[in-house]
Amino acid sequence: MIVGKPLLTTREIQEKVKELAGRISMDYAGKELLAVGILKGACMFFSDLVRSVEVPLTIDFIVASSYVKMDTSGEVRIHYDIREEMSDKHVLLIEDIVDTGITLNQIRERVLARGPKSLRICTFLDKKERRVVDVPLDYIGFEIPNMFVVGYGLDCDNKFRNLPYISVFRKKT
Ligand code: 5GP
């Protein structure tokens, strides 16, 4: 297995996080914000982002894993669900990467069913060309081509999450 040169450097990531946090801070000024990280992949992005957001907020997490079958029907398992009350809050879901959109779509519907004041989605990476289910994305860090990436929270077999940059991952030939 080879982890190649950075596709996105630490510096590029930090600059993007600051830019997104600036937009989020403006959009949520004066509102009760609940930031929800989708784990494990969004762990690094989530913690960097919320530390740069300048409006008061509360945090929670949802831990999900998806088992995508041969067709487009993926089964999403929830291992830990959001515990915060959200009917009085504006919820911002924070995701690492949107690929087919199946995982995020199911989480989105789950959150909407709990009646938050509003719901927006922020994703660090977007593999738009792979989309199977349309999910509205409000804040996008980087759009990337159809390649498997690791680092900055994203894994392969739970490894490489601690790389401070994003790298393309490929099997050794
Ligand atoms: P989706 O349901 O959108 O197809 O899949 C989303 C999940 O698949 C992400 O949260 C992530 O865990 C995983 N995933 C999709 N693409 C990649 C990738 O390029 N690298 C890694 N490490 N995980 C990915």
Q: pLDDT by residue for the chain (173 residues), tens digit each?
A: 566 778 999 999 999 999 999 999 999 999 999 999 999 999 999 999 999 999 999 999 999 987 654 344 567 899 999 999 999 999 999 999 999 999 999 999 999 999 999 999 999 999 999 999 999 999 999 999 999 999 999 999 999 999 999 999 876 65
- CA 94: distance to chain centroid? 4
pLDDT at 65: 85
Active site residue 157: no
pLDDT at 70: 39
Q: What global pTM score does this model have? A: 0.94
CA distance 22 to 85: 26
Spatial CA neighbour of 61 closest among 83, 41, 44, 76: 83
Ligand 1 atom showing the smallest separation from residue 66 Cα: 2
- CATH number at 2-161: 3.40.50.2020
Angle at 148 between CA 65 and CA 49, to 5 degrees: 65
Is residue 149 within 6 Å of ligand 1 at its C-beta?
yes
pLDDT at 68: 52
Is residue 81 within 6 Å of ligand 1 at its C-beta?
no
For ligand 1, the distance from its centroid to the CA atom of residue 27, given in whole angstroms, is 27
